[in-house]
Structure 1
Amino acid sequence: MLASLRLRILSVVAVGLVLASIIGSVQAHRSAQDLAQNLQDQNLRAMAFGFFSSVTASQGSWVTPEEVSDFIPPDVDQYFYRLIGPKGSYISGYNFVQVPVPDEAEPGIANFATWTDGSGATYRGVSISAYVDQFEAPGWVTLQVAQSTRGAQGLVAEQMRSYYFTAAMICFGVLVSAVIILSTIFRPLSRLTQSVARRSAEDLSPIQQPVPIEVRPLKERLNSLFQTVRTEQDAKDRLISNVAHQLRTPLTTIRLRAELAKNASEPRLHLEALDREAKRAGTLAGQLMQLESDARTVALEEVDLGGLVTSLIEDHSMPFEHAGVKLRLELEPGIPPVIGSPALIEEILSNLLDNSLQHAQAKAVVVSVDGPVLRVSDDGCGVDEESLGWVFERFFTAHAGTHSRLADEDRSEAEYQTGSELDERAGGRVVAGSGLGLSIVREYANRMGAEALAENREGLSVTIAFRPA
């Protein structure tokens, strides 16, 4: 298989020309043979009828061979004749002239035939019978005139040479035209290739070069690919930047705790805090990877929201019991199915429950399903109205105000968190967290075509409105 599309097209054109030339040569040879034979037959007929019209009685005898020879002129392909009298008697001429005559041949009708003599020479001949009213011996006389086919074959060869020359010139012209046309057709592609090749690895801007309509889909797909790569590159850069930035605080705390533990008489508190920071760093990295995972397209299906939430609540009830937080499920009757992904809905509910359990300082959490709407509400500290619109942003951490105090052993951790990039629009003390849980909730809701909303009631209430099936 040829790698070049241009060579493949030229090869197809060349093969087509060869096949057309072969078929054309067969047809041309057949036509040339028919033409040469028709010309030879016309000459033979004219010669035979001309001879009969000139036959006259000469003193009561037939014409002599010399007289016939004078009438039939010599030629490159000499004419030969044989004159047969009544009852098949030989009168004059050449005995080898034996033109085959069909039994049903009618008098006065020219009968043409081709035959080969004993030496292998091929002749074309005509046989005509006519009634001659001679004085002494009236009756039917048959004249056979023959000529070698060499002249006709020479005419055929000449016609074929002319055909081959013409066909070769046509094929050459078609191939040259095909090369020029292909060069013109592929020139925009070549320019587009050169334009892309001249780009640096960092240049993912759209191609602005004008192209023909036929090449426009390729240009659009390339621009779409560049946009996708740029989006993925930006996401990767954002992930690296976010991870580097957000891990700086726990890693700094880990380093300080390790330094303090070396000289502390009671290193247990520092080691426990160090362990918490290590776990927090691992959780943060996992959440970032989860949020940036390439799962933008998910398989959506009809989901029994009530049944799924009931099952998930049972799986998450144990941590709430250990923490002394009441977890209650409220289901409205006749909940219709929704469009979504069971896996993403499970992740959404898990993040909402973890957020209420770990960061809201709630005493009770209510999970309700009303039609296609899932709501998780708690009676915790909530979020002040000024910061409510930011709860779904990445790395946003809500402030607990006067609802809690950090233990002495966590004071260093809080200082380093306060020194990181926390939202300054809210006041109060920091409640530890990565600030990614609700961001994951909104991201997964968007992937299912659902809508995530947050509002303050007794505490924080997050609503996920799904699309009905």
Structure 2
Amino acid sequence: MRASRPVSLRRRLLTILAVPMVLAWLGSGALIYGLALYYANVNYDRSLIEGAQMLERMTRSGAGREELSPQVRVLIEYDTDNPTYYSVRSLHHGVLASNLDLPLPAALPAAGAAPQLDSIVHDGRELRMASLAIAQHDPADTIVMSIAESLDQRRELAREILIGTSPVVLLLILIVLVLVWFGVSRGLRLLDPLTQQIAQRRARDLSALDQSQVPVEIRPLTRTIDALFVRLRELLDLQERFIADAAHQLRTPLAGLRLQAERALADPRPDSVRDALAHVERLSAGAGRAAGQLLALARAQTSNEDDAATCAVDLARLARSYAGERVPDALAARVDLGYEGPSEGLLVGGDAVMLREALVNLVDNALTYAGANGTATISLQRESSTIVLAVDDSGPGVAEEWWPRLGERFFRPPDSRREGSGLGLAIVRRIAERHHASVAFDRGRDGRGLRVTLRFPAA
């Protein structure tokens, strides 16, 4: 398959300019033809009027009456290519002389008035006719003298003017296009400093571009590039933070695994090996959970509102279903896990996978800190235009002074005696931010334990 031809800005601009210029050339041709025809009509009409007036004078001076002498007929009919037609008509006696039976004008001119112009069609030919009236001794009679000619010569003159001027106009348009081509080529050189600025950057240099050398029209593009640099810098920071977090979280369990392996190798007795394997199992489970939480936090941090699939999620159905899944874990930990709320119908806009991840971490915390014979409760309700999700436990809780720091990565209250990575609530906070929800901490029921409340805008 052939590769598509790369888009040329220079060629595109020339094409965009060429189309209106061709239309302008055609429009100018129509305008030139119209103007040429207009001025041809003006001049030919003037000549026709003068011809009618001359015909009147020559007739009067010839014989003292309104008739045409042979000399006058020769003067009128001398042009055989564009013949002139005439008619001398008495309203009382009819046609006195003519070489074409011209009709009377639509409105008879007044005697002694200036010649009157009319456009007529005679035998399928378009004619332009000038008419004037001459008063007679007999008051009941008037002589109407008409002289006419075809419109063909006028149109031919307009066409000749159009044909003569069109190449000149076309040449001017071509010259303008060539000048535009060179102007665009020269103007595109203004992008060279920007190209050099980007080419000379180091791989990790994501600072904003220098706008002082960038044309105003290109600055929206450079601002978009700067915004891309910001997002890339955030992703690189997240990547570096993830690597540091992974090293921080996995260093201790990996060291413990190595220590237990060395212990089992040093003391091969079954009881010692069994105890070492139990420690290995516990440490590997903790490492696996820490790795899972690190990945969940990285996914929550890198997810954008526009990147994740957002839809209406029935939070009541999701919470109730998940509470049922965790019942075996709660029984194993001797914790009474319950759900309070409707079975369905509480909709929020968001990502179902991420909302489930938030529930996973909240319930894990509740089961971990509730302790044996404790309680953990998932509650869900609607308050005005918000959906309130709360998970509380009956454990020792967290001192109020540490509540503002809950949700920080790797933060664990100083008096906490349970094992953990300090990532669970950080994941919950990030997912809540992703869904425009607020996170609040309070005492649990009867003033015991910890209550984590998320307020979502209803879908």
TM-score interval, smaller chain:
0.5 to 0.7
Within the alignment, does 1:441 sit opposite 2:428 as a pair? yes
Cα distance 1:24–1:102, how it changes in 2: closer, same or farther (>3 A)? farther
Deviations 1:162-209 (A, max 9, x none): 642663466357646766886798777776566445444422223341
State the SS of the aligned residue for 2:336.
Answer: strand
Which of 17, 20, 23 is the matching residue for 1:13?
A: 17
Q: CA deviation at 1:232?
A: 1.8
CA distance in structure 1 between the partners assigned to 2:144 and 2:315 by the alignment: 111
Matched, 1:317 2:294: no
Moved more, 184-193 or 459-468: 184-193
Q: How does 1:89-128 map to 2 (within 5 A)?
A: 98-99=99-100, 101-102=102-103
Identity between Structure 1 and Structure 2 (%) = 27
Q: TM-score, normalised by structure 1?
A: 0.65
Given that residues 52 and 145 in structure 2 are in contact (C-alpha distance below 8 angstroms), is that contact kept between their aligned partners in structure 1? Answer: no
Q: Deviations over 1:92-111 (max 9, x none)?
A: xxxxx954623778699777
Q: Distance in 1 between matches of 2:347 and 2:129?
A: 97
Taking structure 1 as reference, are residues 53 and 455 closer, same or farther at Cα in structure 2, changes over 3 Å only? same
Q: Is the Cα–Cα contact under 8 Å of residues 373 and 466 in structure 1 kept in the other structure?
A: yes
Letter in 1 for 2:362: L
Give distance in 2, aligned partners of 1:350 and 1:110. Answer: 99
- Report the AA paired with residue 441 of structure 2: L
TM-score for both structures, normalised by structure 2: 0.66
Q: Distance in 2 between matches of 1:443 and 1:123?
A: 87
1:352 aligns with 2:362: yes
- What is the aligned partner in structure 1 of residue 293 from structure 2? 287
Is this contact kept in 1: 2:398–2:449, CA < 8 A? yes
The aligned residue for residue 278 of structure 1 is 284
1:119 paired residue number: none
1:395 aligns with 2:442: no
Structure 2 residue runs of 5 or longer lacking an equivalent are 137-141, 382-387
Q: SS of 1:434's equivalent?
A: coil
Among 153, 162, 175, the residue aligned to 1:160: 162
Q: Which residue of 1 aligns with 2:44?
A: 40
Say yes or no: does 1:327 pair with 2:349.
Answer: no
- Is the alpha carbon distance of 1:154 and 1:261 closer, same or farther for their aligned partners in structure 2, counting shifts above 3 Å? same
Equivalent residue for 2:392?
376
Q: Which runs of 5+ in 1 are unaligned?
A: 91-96, 117-121, 134-138, 404-430
* 1:175-324 to 2 correspondences below 5 Å: 175=177, 195-210=197-212, 217-262=220-265, 264-266=268-270, 267-293=273-299, 294-297=302-305, 299=310, 312-323=322-333
Q: Which has the higher contact order (CA 8 A, sep 6+)?
A: 1
Partners of 2:8 and 2:332 lie apart in 1 by 70
- The superposition leaves residues 268-325 of structure 1 with CA deviations (integer Å, 9 ceiling, x where unpaired) of 43344334433333322221111111445374868666x86565444323223223x2
Q: Indicate yes or no: 2:377 matched with 1:367.
A: yes
Superposition deviation, residue 50 in structure 1:
1.5
Partner residue, 1:466: 455
One-letter amino acid of the structure 2 residue matched with residue 207 of structure 1: L
The residue identity in structure 1 corresponding to 2:450 is S
Give distance in 2, aligned partners of 1:123 and 1:224.
72
Equivalent pair of 2:335/2:367 in contact (CA under 8 Å) = no
The question of whether the paired residues in 1 share the 8 Å contact of 2:48 and 2:130 is answered with no
Structure 1 residues 369-403: Cα deviation after superposition (integer angstroms, max 9, x where no partner): 497462423335x66888776553333456778x7
**Which of structures 1 and 2 has the bigger CA Rg?**
1
CA 1:283 to 1:98, structure 2 compared with 1: closer, same or farther past 3 Å? farther
Task: Output the CA distance in 1 between the equivalents of 2:143 and 2:433.
Answer: 110
Counterpart in the other structure of 1:409: none
How many residues of Structure 1 are paired with residues of Structure 2 in the alignment? 421
- The answer to whether the 8 A contact 1:356-1:362 is kept is no
Secondary structure, aligned partner of 2:211: coil
- Contact 2:52/2:132 (CA < 8 Å) preserved in 1? no
Report the 3-state secondary structure (helix = DSSP H, G, I; strand = E; otherwise coil) of the residue aligned with 1:466.
strand
Residues 49-108 of structure 1 deviation map (CA, whole Å, 9 limit, x = unaligned): 314312345699x87645765x67988979778898998788xxxxxx954623778699
SS in 2 for 1:321: helix
Q: Give 1:15 deviation, angstroms.
A: 1.6
**Structure 1 residue identity aligned to 2:169:** A
Could you tell me which amino acid in structure 2 is paired with residue 445 of structure 1?
A
Per-residue deviation, residues 122-144 of structure 1 (Å, max 9, x unmatched):
998868798899xxxxx979786
Pick closer, same or farther for the CA change 1:400–1:126 going to 2, 3 Å: closer
Query: Is the deviation greater in 51-60 or in 225-234?
Result: 51-60
Deviation, structure 1 residue 41: 4.0
Partner Cα distance (2:94, 2:77) in 1: 28
Aligned to 2:385: none
Preserved CA contact (<8 Å) 2:87 2:99: no
SS of 1:376's partner is strand
The CA distance in 2 between the partners of 1:59 and 1:447, in whole Å, is 110
Contact residue 85 and residue 100 of structure 2 kept, 8 A? no
Q: Distance in 2 between matches of 1:147 and 1:385?
A: 108
Q: 1:42 Cα deviation (Å)?
A: 3.0
Deviation digits for residues 243-292 of structure 1 (CA, Å, limit 9, x no counterpart)? 23433333344344445545524344334433443333332222111111
